[in-house]
Amino acid sequence: MPELRGRALIEDRFGKLGSGRDSVVIGDEEYDLQTLLARMDLNFEDSWPIDVQALSENCFCVRYYDGQDQRIVAHEFDVSFAFVAETRGHIAEWIGEEAYYEWFRSMVRRPPIPGADV
**Residue 34 contacts residue 43 (beta carbons within 8 Å):** yes
pLDDT of residue 109: 60
- pTM of structure: 0.85
Q: What is the reported pLDDT for 103? A: 78
Q: Collect all residues with Cβ–Cβ distance below 8 Å to 81 and sequence separation of at least 6.
A: 26, 39, 40
Q: In the chain, count of helices (H) and strands (E)?
A: 4, 6
Q: What is the pLDDT of residue 66?
A: 95
In this prediction, residue 105 carries a pLDDT of 75
Low-confidence stretches of the chain (pLDDT < 50) are: none
Of the candidates 62, 82, 84, the one whose C-alpha atom is nearest the C-alpha of residue 72 is 62
Give the model confidence (pLDDT) of 48-57 as tens digits.
Answer: 999 999 999 9
